[in-house]
Structure 1
Amino acid sequence: MSARSAALFTAAWDIGATVGTYYVLRLAGVSERTALLVAGVLAATRLVWVAIRRRQVTWFAATMLAVFGLGLLLTFLSGDARFLLFKDSILTAGLGLVFLLSAVTGRPLTLSAAQTAQPWWAGRLDEMFQHDADVRRRMIISAVVWGVALLTEAVLRVPLVYTLPVDVMVAVSDVLLWGTLALVAAWNLVYTRALWRTLVSA
Structure 2
Amino acid sequence: MKVSSKRKVIQMIVISLVINGAVPVVVYNLLTNYYSSFVSLLVATLIPLADNLYHIVKYKKADAFGLFMLTGFILSLLAFVLGGNERLILLRESMVTGLLGLIFIASLFFSKPLIYHFAIKFSAEDASEQKGKFKKNWEIPYFRTVLRIMTAIWGIALLGEAIVKIILVYELSISTFLAVSQLIFYSVIGAAILFTIVYRRYAKVRLDHLTHIQ
Q: TM-score, normalised by structure 1?
A: 0.76
| Paired residue type of 2:25 | Y
Asked if 1:167 corresponds to 2:149, the answer is no
Match of 1:158 in 2: 166
Match of 2:103 in 1: 98
Match of 2:45 in 1: 40
Number of residues of Structure 1 aligned to a counterpart in Structure 2: 193
CA distance in 1, matches of 2:133, 2:71: 33
Q: Per the alignment, in what secondary structure is the counterpart of residue 188 of structure 2?
A: helix
Per-residue CA distance 1:46-105 (angstroms, 9 max, x = gap):
445555666566xx94x972x434311221232622111122222111010111122322
CA contact (8 A) 1:19 1:170 kept: yes
Identity %: 23
Per-residue deviation, 1:7: 4.0
Per-residue deviation, 1:156: 1.5
Per-residue deviation, 1:18: 1.2
| Paired residue type of 2:20 | T
CA distance in 2, matches of 1:166, 1:68: 19
RMSD of equivalent CA atoms: 3.2
Per-residue deviation, 1:136: 3.9
CA contact (8 A) 1:93 1:150 kept: yes
Q: Per the alignment, in what secondary structure is the counterpart of residue 109 of structure 2?
A: helix
Moved more, 97-106 or 4-13: 4-13
Q: TM-score, normalised by structure 2?
A: 0.72
| Paired residue type of 2:96 | L
| Paired residue type of 1:184 | A
Q: Which has the larger radius of gyration?
A: 2
Instruction: Note the 1:5-20 alignment, pairs <5 A.
Output: 5-20=7-22
CA distance in 2, matches of 1:178, 1:13: 13
| Paired residue type of 2:151 | A
CA contact (8 A) 2:150 2:196 kept: yes
Q: Per the alignment, in what secondary structure is the counterpart of residue 31 of structure 2?
A: coil
